[in-house]
Structure 1
């Protein structure tokens, strides 16, 4: 066993029995490389990554390859989910050096003196194929280049460091107008795949922050924009009906390899599902499609059943592979469903899921909706109601059978940022669907983070087997504040609200760039890496800066706190010029811009009656507005900030409605409130 056996990360521990002399990232490895003047081979991946497993099996488990790695390099393995600070920097370096996007596994060779890469790639096969050099033969070539071209390395380091530190000019303040929101809409529609839904071609990702922005714009415009409605609905339908969704167990896979949403990479990530849970709930609430509630309930059930730890936190991911084969757990041969289901149920499922068509995944079938249920029912001479009931029973039978297979591996790390995204999703779903169990699930996870991931007043980013590590990053703070605000809208708690205010204060104190605006990814006291990242662009998740700006605007208006509003404004003014040319890549920041241009509507309800609180909230939650915040506080709560303490019920149910800094007279009649909101 190598040094990784002492690590907490399940991904690093997967490599603990490699013959490679792996180090975790840290002073021991970095000092050794520098003292011996040996280049560093840095490998970054994560537990659910299919091609990480492939490269590990082909190269890192091979004694001959490992011997060469050990002789020539100091080898460092990093879990990108524990160290997103390192991953962000080295992904950017890879893109600058190779002129193409990176991915995982990320393979870099670093100058030990500067920790800057001089050669890099992603997956390398053991022998040359796919147009890629063989890893075994590549190793001595890289080592020889390091020895023979030291002057070139110095020039390379200088140029790369300059490129990494280059900052774009901020957008002109005059651009921060409604016209930029319109431009974002237009850019997204140009990128929209009108045939399959979604944005761009293969591989196809959900782009949640972009759809969320478009949904907010559609509703803000009075729901008259047909092109926007079509893009949103076709994309959500494509994902819900496609192979990116697990039609038996619930939840979404990370992305599909094709443009038609058919065949995914089969890993299930917590962050995707948290964001998609929020999105589908809001789309159903916003009357884009009532049928999306099925996706919401199935995904929430999967989360509570498979992804929540006994202590309350949510696990990170499910692997793409089982028994070493990608997608083996999820695929079907023709004989299995035919044997398990009645003739009538099989005919319906064959028509609905395409089991009567050509296999779509390695001579097997991966389930996706092949035709509308109405058409499948008609082909089987069934009524729609009978078909719906038959399909529910058939799915239960197939899922029970599937559960007997060898399950994909579980990464049981509990990550603060990813938990926050799921807490927000469960809170939104619980509030809108009036499901107390969803809200309680979110509360358990939030309280777990508050107790298990806070030490000596500091928030930490990761917990495994009771051990919390790595001081929290921007995403941890920004997403957690946002989740906390969703949670107190679902069910008030003075303790939780007090903590999210403390988190917001810490965010400003420890992460803000006071001079240029925006927030760094690492705190001012964090371990220094080669550059300090400050990105406003959305990646697989919404950017931490966008989440921070939106949440500070909302919280600032709820509390009447100008510090939060000013920090959000400075973040918007830090948008780079690129945002004017490709605003759809900054969809999260555009959502924040909308909140800045059109201040949020805050509704504070105070009441001594639990049934009134439930009834008034249920009425408000019938419709979705991206810029609406509604918090219901029982009258007996007294430990409140001044802005909320002054809004009390005085023995009756009262609603205080404000838009930005303009507040109306208190309302004591629910119908009057409903009429006002409708206007």
Structure 2
């Protein structure tokens, strides 16, 4: 028997299609049924790669007796948080209010069908009471009994939650000055793990926003911040957070040493981390991550899949860990060197097996084994390839093959950055193909859709879809100029202003103005697992406004920063991406418009020798410089077309904010203007 989830596009929902639970997707019909039958809604939110979601499914949702309780007393709705981040944001926030602790997945919420107001919230529940947690069957009975006798309290509950939601919404404030960045740097330093890198303790997440802020502060002269960013990335890349055989980063580390990860791989982590590794010079890690994306996460029609599961063969990490006998048998005489390099000469670190992490660098191993560092590198590369090929015969983790606009945009930006830093045209090609796929399948009548899966595109785009794609298009234009992408970027920016802007308070709502009414309409400013949509929107609108001379975009960016000013002042480190935008607003980076360079047929700027010479000079003069290399025959809007090309060689226009210096045809003068 199957339930109503069998025809859904989400692989996560389809995983539950054979449950004995009478699941509904989130829809008007489900809510109407709950109202008509006067049953509370049991809302279960998760995602395909979530380990504890699978555990709860096996323990409870596949159990006939628990399913009977759910079906008798509730209308049960299953939500993929990746397809419906709006619902996830609202009910994660409600969970934190009701329980006074952070949420997570699976998220389990019971709501009043008449008002969508939650009155019970939790995350994972075991089927029977254990480890201090109540059993799910007992929870179901108690919640059903409470609802039957206490519905009169739900009106007050809705009012209280509405008041709390309103208090959590920031009021506009005065923009902070540069001292807020100094405070943020001190907060980062206080949270920095000097021994293992990263910020905070276990469970330890990579926090790309914090790394980006530390890198920016380093480029502004804060050497301590630069060391924090570089050391953190190095330790992540050497540790078990990184897949040393197949490339790509796992979601987070369960310990503070980056040793044992939660084994799911998410697209949204790997896009920013690919960019960070490429920019920081961790070329081996960046190349391997790019290879993984192109090999395992790229759809035939273009675009990138969402995630790889943590589990295979019913066990977390089973695809990735090794026994000593397996590695010895595969590597033969190369075993001792590989074991020393990747920790297999130590005690097992994961349930009697070994999860690989780099324990010694090439020079240490060269001294120990009497080889040159280059020979060490060759031997280890050969060993990794041998184990990679052997691992390929194992049962692979499931892949969530839906294509999300926002997460694709993060990877598009990462791949274009890698194309520049690593001189890899294949990265630019994959990113261009993804843009073409989004334009064909997810851009309709001047609006974005959020999801493409099973041959269908659906769900009105959210703030992150617009903001992240706008930012990705600007990264694309810096890598290789394509005038239609600029036109598309302005269309996206116009739609963002038209359908998401909070005209009263500044900033942008997460949902568009024609979205279905929900319990709350949030305006997210704080970084979560992805950067805050308002932060990315502000920064992208600044850059687009400066590039084409459009004051509407600059005003919207300024009002967004003002809307988040109080939050930045109160919690700087939690708003790293917003601080990046503020930094560029307060002290705009130099923007170089290079015209007439040999870019007409270039795949990336590195393919154009003249453009590369000028761009390298600009980066050497000021590491914050943004360069757009535009062919002489490019079709440009009026605000940019006045940066004219010359017939007999390149000419550069250096601008800061809305002010531009006289054009120059001398690299020496360019260096002086950027100094």
Which band: TM-score by shorter chain? over 0.9
For the pair 1:553 / 2:550, whether they are aligned, the reply is no
Q: Is the 8 A contact 1:347 1:380 kept in 2?
A: no
The whole-number CA distance in structure 2 between the counterparts of 1:494 and 1:375 is 50
For the pair 1:76 / 2:69, whether they are aligned, the reply is no
Provide closer, same or farther for how the CA distance between residues 119 and 625 of structure 1 changes in structure 2, counting only shifts above 3 A: farther
Q: Deviations over 1:195-216 (max 9, x none)?
A: 2111111100011111101111
The whole-number CA distance in structure 2 between the counterparts of 1:670 and 1:316 is 43
Q: Of residues 437, 461, 464 in structure 2, which corresponds to 1:448? A: 437
Deviation at 1:376, TM superposition (A): 2.6
Deviation at 1:629, TM superposition (A): 2.1
Q: Of residues 304, 313, 329 in structure 2, which corresponds to 1:323? A: 313
Deviation at 1:155, TM superposition (A): 2.5
Deviation at 1:503, TM superposition (A): 0.3
The whole-number CA distance in structure 2 between the counterparts of 1:625 and 1:58 is 57
Extract unaligned runs of 5+ from structure 1.
285-291
Aligned to 1:151: 152
Deviation at 1:368, TM superposition (A): 0.7
RMSD of aligned alpha carbons: 1.6
The whole-number CA distance in structure 1 between the counterparts of 2:136 and 2:637 is 60
Provide closer, same or farther for how the CA distance between residues 614 and 626 of structure 1 changes in structure 2, counting only shifts above 3 A: closer
Q: Is the 8 A contact 1:280 1:295 kept in 2?
A: yes
Provide closer, same or farther for how the CA distance between residues 278 and 476 of structure 1 changes in structure 2, counting only shifts above 3 A: same
The whole-number CA distance in structure 2 between the counterparts of 1:620 and 1:33 is 65
Greater mean alpha carbon deviation, residues 345-354 or residues 306-315: 345-354
How many matched pairs?
665
The whole-number CA distance in structure 2 between the counterparts of 1:583 and 1:539 is 14
Q: Deviations over 1:478-516 (max 9, x none)?
A: 000000000111111111111011101111111111110
Q: Of residues 629, 641, 651 in structure 2, which corresponds to 1:645? A: 641
Question: Secondary structure of the equivalent of 2:542?
Answer: helix
Aligned to 1:141: 142
Deviation at 1:103, TM superposition (A): 0.3
Deviation at 1:664, TM superposition (A): 1.7
The whole-number CA distance in structure 1 between the counterparts of 2:269 and 2:621 is 21
The whole-number CA distance in structure 1 between the counterparts of 2:217 and 2:76 is 49
Q: Is the 8 A contact 1:20 1:61 kept in 2?
A: yes
Question: Secondary structure of the equivalent of 1:4?
Answer: coil
Greater mean alpha carbon deviation, residues 429-438 or residues 330-339: 429-438
For the pair 1:8 / 2:9, whether they are aligned, the reply is yes
The whole-number CA distance in structure 2 between the counterparts of 1:78 and 1:183 is 39
Provide closer, same or farther for how the CA distance between residues 624 and 69 of structure 1 changes in structure 2, counting only shifts above 3 A: farther
The whole-number CA distance in structure 2 between the counterparts of 1:541 and 1:623 is 31
Aligned to 1:288: none
Q: Deviations over 1:618-647 (max 9, x none)?
A: 52575596743211111112x211122111
Provide closer, same or farther for how the CA distance between residues 622 and 573 of structure 1 changes in structure 2, counting only shifts above 3 A: closer
The whole-number CA distance in structure 2 between the counterparts of 1:359 and 1:676 is 57
Question: Secondary structure of the equivalent of 1:603?
Answer: strand
Q: Of residues 254, 272, 276 in structure 2, which corresponds to 1:275? A: 272
For the pair 1:628 / 2:629, whether they are aligned, the reply is no
For the pair 1:18 / 2:19, whether they are aligned, the reply is yes
Aligned to 2:167: 166
Q: How does 1:208-247 map to 2 (within 5 A)?
A: 208-221=208-221, 225-247=222-244
Aligned to 2:190: 190
Aligned to 2:289: 299
Deviation at 1:544, TM superposition (A): 0.3
The whole-number CA distance in structure 1 between the counterparts of 2:350 and 2:620 is 40
Q: Is the 8 A contact 1:604 1:657 kept in 2?
A: yes
Q: How does 1:99-138 map to 2 (within 5 A)?
A: 99-138=100-139
Deviation at 1:617, TM superposition (A): 5.4
Provide closer, same or farther for how the CA distance between residues 613 and 564 of structure 1 changes in structure 2, counting only shifts above 3 A: farther
Aligned to 2:384: 395
Q: Is the 8 A contact 1:51 1:105 kept in 2?
A: yes
The whole-number CA distance in structure 1 between the counterparts of 2:82 and 2:361 is 39
Deviation at 1:359, TM superposition (A): 0.3
Question: Secondary structure of the equivalent of 1:341?
Answer: helix
Q: Is the 8 A contact 1:377 1:384 kept in 2?
A: yes
Q: Is the 8 A contact 2:217 2:226 kept in 1?
A: no
Greater mean alpha carbon deviation, residues 374-383 or residues 211-220: 374-383
Q: Is the 8 A contact 1:282 1:624 kept in 2?
A: no
Provide closer, same or farther for how the CA distance between residues 508 and 411 of structure 1 changes in structure 2, counting only shifts above 3 A: same
For the pair 1:206 / 2:206, whether they are aligned, the reply is yes
Aligned to 2:585: 596
